[in-house]
Structure 1
Amino acid sequence: MLWLYLHFPSLLLDNLSAAAPAVPMALAEPRRHQLLAVNAEAAQAGVSVGQSVATAVLLCPKLQLFPPDERRQQQLLQQLCVRLYQYTGDIALQPPDGLCIRAGTMLQLYSGFAAYWQQLQQLLQVQQCRVIAACASTPVSARLLARAGRQCLTLDPEQRLKALQQTELSYSDLSTEVQQQLARLGIRHIGQLQVLAPAELARRFPHEVVGYLQQLAGDSPRPLQFYRPASQFQHYLLLQYEISQTEILLRPVSPLLKQLQQFLQQRNQLCRCLILTLYFRQQAPRQIRVQAMGGEVQAARWQSLLSLQLEQVKLPEPVYALELQALQLSAAVAQNSTLLDDKQSGIEKNTTLSKVQLLSLLAAKLGQQVLHSPAYVSCHWPEQSLQRQAPLPEKEHNSTAASLMADKPYAIRPSLQLAEPVNLTEPIQLLSAPERLESLCWQSGVLRQRDYYVARNRQGQQLWVFKTPAQQWFIHGWFS
């Protein structure tokens, strides 16, 4: 079996440098004030790993320092695994900086290792992360070669064995005490251990040494937990600099929304709710909830909704990190379209807004509590037959309207109906015969009577008016 190990020696720093390519950066240990990793720009200025922070800043005044972040490192490794999973299977995460891939099962699909590695390499180049790859017959051997910095991509077993024998023990998984014990005896390479007899190894050295050699040879395989696609989308992002203006927050959020779009498209799903969590140094985290009533998948649509929400947010202090979480996922339903629906008045279809998308924009701008949808009640009196409720999905709204017309096929009602009638103060022309409505109040015994007409005013608007027995005229609505 052929195994491929990908080692990312500076994954977090590569991710930070990708956003600002010309800026010298370094990871610094907060307690010891020493540099753990530097990018190419910092190395050109004379900054190197192991230097003190004071020395590095003197050599490069523009140097930006970041603390190591294990959580962010794990997320970046997970994101790489998600992208690689589109082209290869059986990927095992090796925190904090590696991925182990069972490559032997993919060679037949790609017609050889060269085409397979070329496909993976193209994807890794897009991610702009430095990687050291190594092949071996066991996962532990491939891991050892990659961590030692040996780019070993040959399929020749003899060349792989030779490279393994020349690898130093300092890159192995043996404990520091065991490595020091072996170094005192002059044993510093894997090959020096492999030539010793197993009985002598078991007698002179801890069982850890024998077990590790067995794992290298494949006699005692190390269990691996292979990656399975996540069912939920949740990403935490540590910002490169603190942000105090809400409009700038859209810049780091935009890549996360594109990842969400890819996540949904791969699963043929829609998302109805996003939660953006803002993290502050002193204040408690703040959550911003964004709703897409009909479900949404496009990153551009989510960015528009989020932009409207952020316009109303005032930051109490700068934001140093954020987290994006997707809720209420559902299966996407295919929509039939005709040839004439592809373009409307010269505008591409994907640039037009549906009713549900318009409701989502209004909810993001004005607040969902101010949006209402008409709800029809079985009552012939206009003020009581029309009520307000929360906006309904488009299918439910259409079915409700259809049921109304089925219940009252004779009724002619305006599209815009007032909650309370207002006095008619302009001349009109009647266009229909009267429709009499009566209502007897059983508590007071008072009979209410109205004669409704369809009328037109001088501006050409069609009105819904009525006349009372006292010859008073009122407007109750307008027809579209």
Structure 2
Amino acid sequence: MRWACVVLPQLALDGVLRRRSDPDAPLALVTGTAQRRVLQTVNPAARALGLRPGQSLIAANALTHDFTLVEYDPDEIERWQQFLAAWGYRFSSHVSLCYPRTLLLEIESSLALFGPWPRFEARLREELTTLGFRHRIVAAPNPLAARILANAHDGLAIASDEVMRATLGKMPVERIGLAREVATAFARMGLRTLSQVLALPRDTLARRFPVQVQQHLDTLLGERALALECYVPPDEFDVRIELNFEVASHQALLFPLRRLTADLAAFLAGRDSGVQRFALHLQHAEAVDSIIQVGLLSAERDPAMLFELARGRLEQVQVVAPVRGVRLMARELPAFVPEHRELFDERPQQSLPWEQLRERLRARLGDESVQGLRAQADHRPEHAWQTAGDAEPGSILQGPPRPGWLLRQPVPLRESAPRILAGPERIESGWWDGGDVRRDYYLIETRSGQRAWAYRPLGESGPLMLQGWFA
């Protein structure tokens, strides 16, 4: 097997920065007690001001006040790891969160689908960068070796056990995952690299060190299997973004909305599913949440489309109170069936598929403003169809062709001698609902070449009544 290790060195900081519209502004995550506040991590802009991780908040404020403070939340790290595991599930059915701030992906079975490793790796990096997470990626024959090598390398790809063993042999003993006291003991013995440790007889190691040390080395070299618990994606999506300040306009809510819908699309791609209904919760400080329901006629997962639909619904709602947070919840995640496309798409470049146009119109104008037509089993032309929203099309009665355009009300045909192409076709129906009709219908052609549908009431001798036109 072959494993890819994705290390996320700044997961907590990236999780905060990706939610901000100004990620390049100085920012520091702070932790510690009320008596001693300490900077946990800082972004490059804050580092340029002289701020450093481990620095006390008092010392940082003595240097500058031109930076933003955010509370360091360890639970956020776990949530982001779960989110990225759902994203990684798109590329491999074996995803593990065995190590902190790390994704392990089994890639041997995925190379046939995503191409050779260089192309596969480039795709992983591109998507992680788009999602806003810094990373290091290493591929190796076993997961532990990939994780250890990622401590010192980025972009390393090892395909054979021999190369892996030689590369690991150059690693310092303090960076191969041993306990600190074990690594210190090796250093005091003059053993600086893994190759020097492996040169010792096994019985010597067994006498001087706990059995776990030899087991760790065997696992690192692939001579002992590592049992990993694989990730199982959840059945719903629930992510919240807390805003830096109170927001009272739709425009200021678009950035967190775009981020949330992009995260939802990445989550859906990992589960190979779509979403047919989700809810936006606008959270207020002193009022109940404003809930915006977004419904689709079919399962979708395109990030641009989800954003446009949510934006259209949001712009129809009046913000009743300043917003402190935005939460997106999706619990209906049906299977996603991609739209069938021809090999050579003849659709103009700037046009939209009908499904996307329909959903965009519904979001902008409201559900009741966009209606379709549904066939109804009735011989009377004016009752053979009805407006329909989400309903399935009904059955169409078999018979002669019908015009595509019916007049709102039949009108007398002014042309005195039209050419009759077909007919009469007698329709007698509607006695059960009070709309009884008895008519003889004709397919006619006017002097200008137009084809029309006209009838004469049964038993009457007046002019033909024009009811519809054929295209």
Please give the range of the TM-score, normalised by the shorter of the 2 chains: 0.5 to 0.7
Closer, same or farther in 2 for the Cα pair 1:447/1:312, shift >3 Å? closer
* Deviation of the 1:450 alpha carbon: 6.9
Q: Is 1:322–2:327 an aligned residue pair? A: yes
Q: Which position in structure 2 is the counterpart of 1:67?
A: 71
Q: Which position in structure 1 is the counterpart of 2:47?
A: 43
Q: How many residues align?
A: 433
Q: Distance in 2 between matches of 1:108 and 1:414?
A: 50
Letter in 1 for 2:310: L
Closer, same or farther in 2 for the Cα pair 1:464/1:133, shift >3 Å? closer
Correspondence 1:200-279 to 2 at 5 A = 210-211=211-212, 214-218=215-219, 222-226=226-230, 230=233, 234=237, 236-239=239-242, 241-242=244-245, 243-255=247-259, 257-258=261-262, 271=274, 273-279=276-282
Closer, same or farther in 2 for the Cα pair 1:470/1:262, shift >3 Å? same
Closer, same or farther in 2 for the Cα pair 1:443/1:461, shift >3 Å? closer
Letter in 1 for 2:212: G
What does the per-residue CA deviation read over 1:385-429, in whole Å, with 9 as the maximum and x for residues that have no partner? 544443446xx47xx4xx33x24x17x5563454xx59x7x9955
Q: Which position in structure 1 is the counterpart of 2:101?
A: 97
TM-score, normalization: structure 2? Answer: 0.65
* Deviation of the 1:114 alpha carbon: 9.5
Contact 1:26 1:65 survives alignment (8 Å): yes
Q: Is 1:390–2:393 an aligned residue pair? A: no
Contact 1:3 1:138 survives alignment (8 Å): yes
Q: Distance in 2 between matches of 1:363 and 1:240?
A: 28
Q: Distance in 2 between matches of 1:335 and 1:113?
A: 28
Q: Which position in structure 2 is the counterpart of 1:11?
A: 11
TM-score, normalization: structure 1? Answer: 0.64
Closer, same or farther in 2 for the Cα pair 1:134/1:50, shift >3 Å? same
Correspondence 1:80-479 to 2 at 5 A = 80=84, 91-94=95-98, 96-100=100-104, 129-131=133-135, 143=147, 150-151=152-153, 155=163, 157=165, 160-161=168-169, 163-167=171-175, 188=184, 191=187, 198-199=206-207, 210-211=211-212, 214-218=215-219, 222-226=226-230, 230=233, 234=237, 236-239=239-242, 241-242=244-245, 243-255=247-259, 257-258=261-262, 271=274, 273-282=276-285, 283-293=287-297, 295-296=299-300, 298-315=302-319, 316-323=321-328, 325=330, 327-336=333-342, 342=346, 348-349=348-349, 351-354=351-354, 356-369=355-368, 371-381=370-380, 384-392=383-391, 396=393, 400=395, 403-404=396-397, 406-407=398-399, 409=400, 412=402, 415-416=405-406, 418=408, 429=415, 479=469
Q: Which position in structure 2 is the counterpart of 1:205?
A: none
What does the per-residue CA deviation read over 1:84-103, in whole Å, with 9 as the maximum and x for residues that have no partner? 67888855323541234668
Closer, same or farther in 2 for the Cα pair 1:20/1:106, shift >3 Å? same
What does the per-residue CA deviation read over 1:454-480, in whole Å, with 9 as the maximum and x for residues that have no partner? 999xxx998979889999999996647
Letter in 1 for 2:334: Q
Closer, same or farther in 2 for the Cα pair 1:15/1:435, shift >3 Å? same
What does the per-residue CA deviation read over 1:190-248, in whole Å, with 9 as the maximum and x for residues that have no partner? 655989864565xxxxxxx64355334438755212457x5867362535535443344
Q: Distance in 2 between matches of 1:113 and 1:336?
A: 29
In the alignment, structure 2 segments of 5+ residues that lack a partner are 190-196
Closer, same or farther in 2 for the Cα pair 1:363/1:213, shift >3 Å? same
Q: Which position in structure 2 is the counterpart of 1:25?
A: 27
* Deviation of the 1:318 alpha carbon: 0.8
Contact 2:87 2:270 survives alignment (8 Å): no
Closer, same or farther in 2 for the Cα pair 1:52/1:163, shift >3 Å? same
Contact 2:140 2:146 survives alignment (8 Å): yes
Contact 1:215 1:221 survives alignment (8 Å): no
Letter in 2 for 1:241: N
What does the per-residue CA deviation read over 1:15-48, in whole Å, with 9 as the maximum and x for residues that have no partner? 5446634211111227544321111111121222
Name whichever of 90-99 and 36-45 sits farther off: 90-99
Q: Please report the RMSD computed on the Cα atoms of aligned residues, expressed in angstroms.
A: 5.6
Contact 1:140 1:215 survives alignment (8 Å): no
Closer, same or farther in 2 for the Cα pair 1:441/1:42, shift >3 Å? closer
* Deviation of the 1:442 alpha carbon: 8.0
Letter in 2 for 1:280: Q
Closer, same or farther in 2 for the Cα pair 1:143/1:307, shift >3 Å? closer
**Residue aligned with 1:329, SS:** coil
Letter in 1 for 2:237: Q
* Deviation of the 1:249 alpha carbon: 3.2
Contact 1:141 1:216 survives alignment (8 Å): no
In the alignment, structure 1 segments of 5+ residues that lack a partner are 202-208
What does the per-residue CA deviation read over 1:303-333, in whole Å, with 9 as the maximum and x for residues that have no partner? 3323321221233431424326363333225
Closer, same or farther in 2 for the Cα pair 1:466/1:48, shift >3 Å? farther
Closer, same or farther in 2 for the Cα pair 1:342/1:6, shift >3 Å? closer
What does the per-residue CA deviation read over 1:255-301, in whole Å, with 9 as the maximum and x for residues that have no partner? 5545666677788x784614143252545555534344355454333
Closer, same or farther in 2 for the Cα pair 1:428/1:248, shift >3 Å? farther
Name whichever of 43-52 and 371-380 sits farther off: 371-380
Q: Distance in 2 between matches of 1:49 and 1:234?
A: 33
Contact 2:89 2:270 survives alignment (8 Å): no
Q: Which position in structure 1 is the counterpart of 2:193?
A: none
Contact 2:313 2:363 survives alignment (8 Å): yes
Q: Distance in 1 between matches of 2:77 and 2:264?
A: 19
* Deviation of the 1:441 alpha carbon: 5.7
Q: Distance in 1 between matches of 2:117 and 2:451?
A: 74
What does the per-residue CA deviation read over 1:115-138, in whole Å, with 9 as the maximum and x for residues that have no partner? 998887777667664446789997
* Deviation of the 1:334 alpha carbon: 2.3
Q: Distance in 2 between matches of 1:112 and 1:429?
A: 73
